[in-house]
Amino acid sequence: MERNFFLGRYLIWVTLLLGQLHGYKSCVEEERNALLEVKKYIISITREEVSDYINVLPTWTYDTKSDCCRWEGVKCNRTSRRVTGIAFGTLYLKENSLLNLSLLHPFQDVRSLNLSKNEDYDTTLFSGMFDDVLGYKSLGRLRSLEILDLSLNAFNNSIFPFLNAATSLTTLSLRRNFMDGPFPAKRYKSLRRSRNLEILDLSRNSLNNSIFHFLNAVTSLKTLFLRSNNMNGLFPVEELKDLTNLELLDLGENKFNGSIPIRVLPGMRKLKALDLSSNEFYASNGMQGICQMTNIQELDLSRNKLVGPFPSCLFGLTRIQVLDLSSNQLTGKVPPALGSLGYLKYLSLLDNNFEGVFSLGSLANLSELRFFQLSSKSKSLQVESEGSWKAKFQLRVFELPSCNLVTKA
């Protein structure tokens, strides 16, 4: 009885829903036409040799019955039916194609604009932007724009004046473009107007340290990727001092060297994730700075030139979950105190010069540990696994290549 009642209610809901779908409002006419203008423009800059077999934006059709909110890459607000997201997907553009930003002015509610592509396709996208109506101020016209993905294009520093106008941005990706140094502070100081910018990805460009003057002003940043650029010299402590809201910093795959900063400015104490992998840092004894970042949950120092014993101040990072010290030149014993870092999920000590005896039993209490790697270039590392301890963790990956494993019953 009760069941039928619920079933009945359910059917009513289904009917209501179908009714709504049926009387579904289509997208706004003006925006639909504007999307078709964009498509026309993209066809005009598509490489001729592909136009025979590649259909540009095939779901964006002139069929008046087709709802543009359902076109591939288009997102709308459910109630207003205005366009809130535009993504072109992978395009096959002529060399040096520019994006005509005037074509985007009609999209007043657009929150997210994605000019990136599928990473697997080796094809040219945009190398610049222009607007013969509003000039550099163009992106400012899109007052709701929060997310701008320009990754995997061929943009160079000349687009910064455009980005300065996009003051509502919270997320900006310029990963894998052609940004490079020099970065004259005067000319590009303007991202300071982006008071809402929290996520900035500049990885895989050719930027050098001159970018820091420019980033200083973006104090709202929480996440900063500068991986794989041409930065060098000492850890940029001073340069980052104004970015007091940073929670994630990725400086991996650069040429930073010297010891890891002994002194860390108070601003950096909020860091939760720090990636300094694939640099040239040496001297593990200068690690006190990092050890003051007590909120750190992820620390990647792999593929550096760290020498000396395991930096024992790391045991103060009691919240750490991911610790990667692989491919360095650390020596001495693997400290049993690692077993006190109770939140560890991932621990890699692969490819160092550790020696002596390490007992797996010292990790027995790490109930979160899922990944553990240890190996040594020194022949004298022995890993001991006595039969008596019961691990609280369930490892999914456990590698001990070229270790002398001694099992005692």
Ligand X SMILES: *[C@@H]1O[C@H](CO)[C@@H](O)[C@H](O)[C@H]1NC(C)=O
Which residues of this chain interact with ligand X, rule CB under 6 A? 37, 77, 79-80, 87, 89, 96, 100, 102-103, 114, 116-118, 127-128, 132, 147, 149, 156, 158, 180-182, 208-210, 232-233, 255, 257, 339, 361-362, 364-365
Residues 6+ away with beta carbon under 8 Å from 305: 280, 281, 282, 328, 329
Q: How far is the CB of 144 from ligand X (least distance, A)?
A: 8
State residue 384 phi and psi, 5-degree precision: -110, 135
User: Which residue lies nearer to ligand X by CB, 81 or 271?
Assistant: 81
Comparison of 185 and 295: residue with beta carbon closer to ligand X: 185
For 93, the 3-state DSSP assignment is: strand
d(CA 264, CA 241): 9
- DSSP β-ladder status, 273-275 and 298-300: parallel
**In this structure, what token pair is assigned to residue 161?**
């004046």
Beta bridge partners of 75: 85
* CB contact set of 61 (below 8 Å; sequence gap of 6+): 71
Residue with tokens 């720090």: 274
Residue with smaller CB distance to ligand X, 36 or 270: 36
Question: From the CB of 45, what's the least distance to ligand X, in Å?
Answer: 9
Assigned token pair, 204: 């895989």
The H or E element containing residue 72 is: none
Q: What are the DSSP calls for 223-278, one per residue?
A: EEE--SS--EES--TTTTTT-TT--EEE--SSEEEEEPPSS--GGGGG-SEEE--S
Please state the closest distance from residue 63 (CB atom) to ligand X, in A.
Answer: 22
Comparing CB distances to ligand X, the nearer of 86 and 400 is 86
Q: For the chain, how many helices (H) and strands (E)?
A: 6, 23
Residue 7 CB, shortest distance to ligand X, in Å, is 32
Task: Give just the sign of the alpha carbon dihedral 225, 227, 231, 234.
Answer: positive
Residue 48 structure tokens: 């001729």
Least distance to ligand X, CB of residue 173, Å: 7
Of the pair 50, 134, the CB lying nearest ligand X is at: 134
Radius of gyration of the chain (CA): 27
233 and 261 in contact (C-beta within 8 Å)? Answer: no
Of 271 and 360, nearer to ligand X (C-beta) is 360
When the beta carbons of 243 and 366 are compared against ligand X, the nearer one is 366
Least separation, in Å, of the C-beta of 79 and ligand X?
5
- State the minimum distance, in angstroms, from the CB of residue 372 to ligand X: 14
- If the CB atoms of residues 292 and 304 are measured against ligand X, the closer one turns out to be 304
Q: How far is the CB of 234 from ligand X (least distance, A)?
A: 7
| Between 159 and 271, CB nearer to ligand X | 159
The tokens for 222 are: 């929480």
Shortest distance, position 257 Cβ to ligand X, whole Å: 4
Contact between 236 and 257 under an 8 Å Cβ cutoff? The reply is: no
